[in-house]
Structures are given as C-alpha cells and as structure tokens.
Structure 1
Amino acid sequence: MTQMARTPFVAALAEAPLPASATAWLDQARRQNRDAFVDAGLPDTRVEAWKYTALRALAQRRYASGDALALERPVEASLLALPGSDGPALVFVNGVFRADLSAFDALPDGVDLRPLSRALAEVPESLRFALSRHYRGPGDAFARVNAAFASDGVVLRIGAGIQVPVPVRLVFVGAGAQEDLAWHVRNLVDLGVGSELTLIEQHLSTGGQAHLGTGVADFALQSGAKLHHVVLQQADTGSSLVRRSHYRLDARAQVQLHALELGGALARHDLRAELVGDGAAFRTDGAFLPNGRQHMDTQLAIHHRARDTLSSSTWRGVAGGRGRGVFRGAIVVEAGADGSDATLSNKNLLLSSQAEIDTKPELEIYADEVKAAHGATVGQLDERALFYLRSRGIPGDQARSLLTAAFARVPFESLPDETLRTYVEQLLLARLPG
C-alpha cells in the first residue's frame, strides 16, 4: 500500500511509535507485524472472513495510540463488582494494568498470574515463542496491529494437577479520555496436565468513549486439563472491539465456553479451536444481541485433528432496531480424525423489520466414522406461542418479552454456577425489550 493510498486509520498506526523494548526479537516481531499491516491495510468484504463486516467507516478514523493517563483514570468499584466472584482479578484500563484495582489473593501454589508488562520485564524469553509470531493471513489485520502494539495483557500458567478453587477474573475497561484511543491487550493462558480453571473475562466501559480495543488470546491445554471460560462483553455502544481467541487442546482436554456479546458499535470475536489430542472436547454456548446500529460478528472455526474428539456449539442471536449480527460456524474434521462428533446450531431472532442477521454454517469432513450435524435459522417470534400467551391474559409486549428472553437464555442454561447464571439472565432481561 503506497503512502497516497493509506486510509486515515492505517496512516495513524503507521506513524505511531511502537512500544519501547530492550528485547531484540520482540522489537523485530513488532516491526514485522506493523509493516505487514501498513502494507496490506484493512481487509475489505472480498476477504471471505470479512464478507459481512465492512470496515469503511473505521478506515476513516484516526485513533491516538495508547493512553498515557491510563493509571489515573477513575473507575468506580461498583463497575468492577461481579456477584459471587470475589477472588483474584487483574484489571486493565485502556489496555494498561492497574495494580490498584487488581487482586492476586486466593491463588494456590503452582499458579503463576501476572500482567504481560511485568512478565516481559522479568521473564521475556519464556514468551518468545508466543510473541514473535508473524501473522500472514489476508484477514489478519487486527492480529498484526495487536502483535505490533500490545505491551500489556495477562500471562497465566497453571501447574500440573492444580485445581484453582475460585474463578480468576480478567477485566478490561474502556475509560473516557479527551480523544479516541487505540489500545491493545495480549493474553497467554497455559493449563498444565490435569489442571482445572474457571476464567471470567469481562469487557466494560466507563465515562463514555469511542475507543478501539484489540485483543489476542492463546489458550493451551495440556492432557486432561479443563477450562471453563466465561466471556461477558459490555463495552460502550460507541466503541469498537476486535478480538481473537485461539484454543489448543491436547488429549482429553476440555473447554467449555459461555459468551455473551452486548456492547460495541462494532464487536467482532474470532474463536478458533484446534483439537489436536485424542478425546479432546470443545463446547461453546453463546448469544449476541445487536440493537440500535450495532454490528456484532462472531467467527467460530473448529478443527478436529485427532481421533474421538468432540465439539458442540449452541448460539443464539437476537437483533433489534437496525442492529446487524453475523455468525459463521465452520467445522473441519481432518483426515485421521476418525470417531469425531461435531454439532453446531445457530438460531436467530429478528425483532424489527430493519434488523439483519447473516449466518453461515460450514462443515467439511475428511475422515471416516464421523457424527456431524449443523444448522442455522433466522426468523421472528413464533406466532402460535405468542397467541397462546395472549390467550392466557398476558399483554402482547410482555408476551413478546417472555418469549424473547426464553429464546436468548438457552445457551446459558448450562452455566454451572447459579449466581453467575442468574446475573447473566438479568443482563439479558435488561437488554431485551419489555
């Protein structure tokens, strides 16, 4: 991309200084990824992974890089409260770790939890494999930006056989500033053989802002490890949030993901899973609820690479106003992954004539003795169920609200923690028209 062809978004990042580092390999990786981004620019809708998410408006924005005042931004304690979760939490404000808002207590021996900024200062070589990656795909623009500019985030390593008794929370807050900012976080989570962890990831906002946040997270689960990952995304409706989460599961490892997407003018989450060990299991349950002019894009790609692996995905979308939702669910059962079992369901509900949801299930099978099923629907409320409720004396608006809430809460009925499940249901009810 020539200088004349650069959009304001690309030009701003091309001019922004890279984070300072005294580590040669990290400086090189940052330069390579920034140069690759500047050369290729943002993807357009001709790139299959971005077919339904146009970035023309974002391309015209110029974001300031980083927040020099992040350590001073006020954050109310009530914003960070989560019912039933008083254990360890790492809090980041505009991409910067806040020790004054964080807590490291209640962690057993064998658990190493620290901000990435501290890990880079203390044990940089242990991060070399993860942070020296050069992203090369046509749709990898934001991963390149993140690799170039992220200087903070989370490093969490759990030793073999360790069962963390309380949930660990990662809280990312977008706080108001004098100008719109671009901030970036990089997370690395490694579960040792037979370890277990519940991880709650929250995206929150305060002060009203229209920032851009990017996040890249790698989850590595060794044999027999178990991870329950809960994602609650409530960013400001004027902000943009683009994330990528990659899970790698060894033999008999298990991941259960629950995800709720509520915020952001533009909110995109790429979820990628590689089941590389025999008997690995990956389950995802989630919902996205775009309203107003929000655009929410969920990209789910699951690769079965080993025998007797299992994946199960249940997703619901509810769009109101002029909101637009995108869901792509791709399952690939590769040669040699015999005995795999893969199911995916995406059902969507439109609450207005101007709302839109595009759903694209994909299934590729290159192995034998495989069980696989996938399907997707887009429609409106069941008129027969609505008539039944109204015939029982329930007013029309209340009947619609009851049916919509019942539809949206299905993915969260499998949440094992009752307090957290109740909290999620309250978020859904507060969001849905009543």
Structure 2
Amino acid sequence: MMAGGFLEPFLADAGQASRSQAAWLTEARTNALQQLARDGMPGPRSEAWKYSSLRALGQRQYQRGDAEANSRAIDKQLLALPGVDGPRLVFVNGAFRADLSTTRTIKGLQLTALSSVLESDPDSLQPFLSRSFDDPAHVFARLNSALASDGPVIRVAAGVAVEPLVHLIFVGAAASTSLAWQLRSIIEIAEGGSLRLVEHHVGEAGQSHFGNVLSQIAVRANARLDLLQVQNSPETASLTRRTDVVLDADAHLELRSIEAGAQWMRHDLVVNLSGDRSRFVSRGVFALRGRQHADTRLDVRHSARDSACDILWRGVADQRSRGIFHGAITVEPGADGSDALLSNKNLLLSAQAEIDTQPVLEIYADEVKAAHGATVGQLDEHALFYLRTRGLSADEARSLLTLAFCRVAFDSVENEALREHLDVLLLERLPSMEQEPTTDKASA
C-alpha cells in the first residue's frame, strides 16, 4: 500500500470531528480516517487497481475542498440539458448552490442538500452514512465517508410516482489551484414509488480538480428508478465515482450511463439484488480520445430468488486512450431462478488505443440462467466501403458506424430532445475530419 502525498492533507485532519455532529457520525468518520491511515492507497498488486495505477495520483497534492464554492460564477449553459426542465439540484466543487438550483414542491418528493439534513435530521441518514468500507481497495469510498459534508438527498414517499424528470448537476468550477472535493448522494425510493433522474457531470475547461462522488441508492419493494448518468467532465479533470444500489423485492432499476469526459475516470457500480424478483437493467458506453483513461467496474450480486440482470455495455477508444471494463456477476447460494446476462463489445479506432475487458461469472445456486461475453475489434471494412459507395466520406462513414455501435446504450431513451443531445455528445468524441481511417480488417 502507498500513503503518498495525495492522502496527507486529509489524514492531517484525523480526530478533528465537529462538536455539533452526531456521535455515530463522528465514529464513522473517525473509523474511515483510521482505515486510510492504516492502509494508504492500493499499490500495483491490488487486483481491483491492476489496470488503473494510482502511482501518479499518489504523488499529487490537492487543496481540500473549496472555500469559495458558494460564490464562484458559473456559466448557465453548463447546466442545460435539452429536454430536461424539471426540478434540479446543483453542486459546485462539492457544495450545494441554492442560487443555481430550481426546486418546487412536489407531493411525496423530498429534494434537499445533505448539509441541510445533517443539521435538521442527521439520524435519518445513519443507515447510509454509518456504513464502513472494509476493503482496502475502496480507498475513495473511505475518503468520501470521512470528509463528504454535502450532496443531494432525494426521497420518494411510498406509492408516489414522481412525474417530472429530476436533474442532478455536479459542476467542477475553475479555481487558482487544483482542488479535491467530496460529494455524497443519497437516493431512497419508498415502497411502490417511482422516479426518473438524470445525474449530470460537467465542468469548466482547464480545471484539474479531483472529484470523488459516492452515491447510495435504495429502491424499496415494488419501486422503480430510471437513472441516466451523463459524465462529460472536462478532459483535464480527474473523477472517481461509486454507485451503490440495493434492490428489494420486485424493485426495478433501469440505468443508462455515458462516460465521455475526464482525463482520468473510475466508476464502480455495485448492485445487490437483495429481494425476490428484483430486476436490474444496465446500458452503458464509454467513448475516449486523446490520452483519456476510463475504468468501469460492475459488481452485480444476485442474493434472492428469481432476480434478473440484463447488462449491455459498449466501449470506443481512439488515439492513445485506454478503456477498462470489468463486469462481474455473482449468483449467491439460495438465489435459485436467477437470470443473468452480460455483454460487452468494444471498438479500437487507433493502433495506439487500448481496451481491456474482463467478464466474470460466478454461480453458487441451482436452476440459474446465465451468459456473458466480450469482444474487442475494429470497424468492419466492408461496411465502411458500402457507405463510401453511397457518397459518404471516409470520416463520415466511420462516425456513422461508430455512433450506431454506441447508440444501443441509449436508443431506448424516450425523450427525443435528450436522445438527440446524447447523439451530438458522442459525435463530438469521434475522430475528426483530419484523421485517416483505420486499415485493420476486423469486425467488432
């Protein structure tokens, strides 16, 4: 393990808990800091970090938090998403900005900031914030547990179907120095409730902050959450995210993810199908260029009978970028009748690009239906030739085929304006007109 300069500013605050916070919260934060001090950052022998070395990060130092987050000027265009005009919560460098947020009273929906709930009703957050991350590989979850003091808290009451599309916006704002900010997101859908949510990551060009986001999601019995994650942070920033989900009996999570931004990105998606007949559907894509590095890890556990997961992810890497996809499905003892499907297909658009994919399937129950597969290849030269005979340039043909390859991740988005915006976002990531088409003859 490596302590490194990265952790030093945070470990210096060990034991300096706020006198006003609840005793259980002080204990949880102190425990997380002690774990960090003991284990440091994972080294090259850590299997979870095998493809994403933390050595360079371990040598960097960031200023903790942003004392000026509440007053920084933000371009309103960063906050806009076509087709999304419902209530929104905005956080800048990890701090809530009421002046940029637009909330309205919706029966059965609570939209507020973690900092506010910690003052008014901290004990209601204990099941979430008291969690301990005991695996040393979860270094950033520990850091978040120790230091995060703000983020969105979203709760849907039992039996309430929230109609408006709720918009969460996490902004990285430029500052005179590189910052490290922590943000904790808590989402709870009570029994029989439903919510549609967009999680949107953006930032101002040129900033080189380190953002650390930990989201805890609980979908109770017979409830549903439709979640779209759009990660389009500037390519100078670093971002690590962990999304922890628990699905109770007959609960349903439909998750779509687009990873297009950040110079260095890590996303751990951990889903526990803890209730009978719970269902998880995931569609995702990462589109990389330049020297971007994106590491996506899925860990799905079937812990109950007749639960189901359907996972389909696509990856595209161009120039000297690198993408990593780790998809693990575990069917635990007693989870009979589980149905698990994982598919990951990837495109290399450059001889210098790299994609590593690892599908993992472990089954410890009977009467299970399961399948997984992964491929890495290049664009089909026959398809490229066909499009060029129809009058398209080489680059137009490549962009069209690559977009079609990626669109499977979000073609089921019903909001037409939003879907068209996602098309544009991906097209911006694809090769420029100046680049030469690949000549490798292989098919994805």
Bucket of the pairwise TM-score, normalised by the shorter protein: over 0.9
Report the CA distance between 1:173 and its aligned residue: 0.3
Report the CA distance between 1:291 and its aligned residue: 1.1
Structure 2 distance, partners of 1:44, 1:314, is 30
Native 8 Å contact 1:315 1:347 kept in 2? yes
Native 8 Å contact 1:330 1:362 kept in 2? yes
Residues 241-279 of structure 1 show CA distances to partners (whole Å, capped at 9, x for unaligned) of 111001111111100001000111111110011111111
Q: Counterpart of 1:100 in 2: which secondary structure?
A: coil
Aligned to 2:314: 316
Report the CA distance between 1:128 and its aligned residue: 1.6
Q: Counterpart of 2:266 in 1: which secondary structure?
A: strand
Residues 69-97 of structure 1 show CA distances to partners (whole Å, capped at 9, x for unaligned) of 00111101111111111111110000000
Deviates more, 1:202-211 or 1:275-284: 202-211
Matches within 5 A, 1:6-405: 6-16=3-13, 20=18, 22-23=20-21, 24-105=23-104, 107-405=105-403
Native 8 Å contact 1:276 1:304 kept in 2? yes
* Structure 2 gap segments, 5+ residues each: 433-444
Q: Counterpart of 2:245 in 1: which secondary structure?
A: strand
Report the CA distance between 1:207 and its aligned residue: 4.8
Structure 1 distance, partners of 2:426, 2:381, is 22
Report the CA distance between 1:401 and its aligned residue: 1.3
Deviates more, 1:422-431 or 1:354-363: 422-431
Q: Counterpart of 1:99 in 2: which secondary structure?
A: coil
Structure 2 distance, partners of 1:200, 1:317, is 21
Structure 1 pair 425–223 and aligned structure 2 pair: CA distance change class (3 A): same
Aligned to 1:413: 411
Structure 1 pair 321–100 and aligned structure 2 pair: CA distance change class (3 A): same
Q: Counterpart of 1:289 in 2: which secondary structure?
A: strand
Q: Counterpart of 1:264 in 2: which secondary structure?
A: coil
Structure 1 pair 77–314 and aligned structure 2 pair: CA distance change class (3 A): same
Aligned to 1:428: 426
Structure 1 pair 215–76 and aligned structure 2 pair: CA distance change class (3 A): same
AA in 2 matched with 1:97? F
Report the CA distance between 1:390 and its aligned residue: 2.1
Report the CA distance between 1:16 and its aligned residue: 4.5
Native 8 Å contact 1:175 1:208 kept in 2? no
Aligned to 2:440: none
TM-score normalised to structure 1 length: 0.96
AA in 2 matched with 1:244? R
Q: Counterpart of 1:198 in 2: which secondary structure?
A: strand
Structure 1 pair 367–99 and aligned structure 2 pair: CA distance change class (3 A): same
RMSD of aligned C-alpha atoms?
Answer: 1.4
Deviates more, 1:398-407 or 1:178-187: 398-407
TM-score normalised to structure 2 length: 0.94
AA in 2 matched with 1:136? D
Structure 1 pair 393–173 and aligned structure 2 pair: CA distance change class (3 A): same
Aligned to 2:436: none
Structure 2 distance, partners of 1:320, 1:95, is 31
Structure 1 distance, partners of 2:344, 2:42, is 26
* Structure 1 gap segments, 5+ residues each: none
Structure 1 distance, partners of 2:183, 2:17, is 12
Structure 2 distance, partners of 1:374, 1:416, is 27
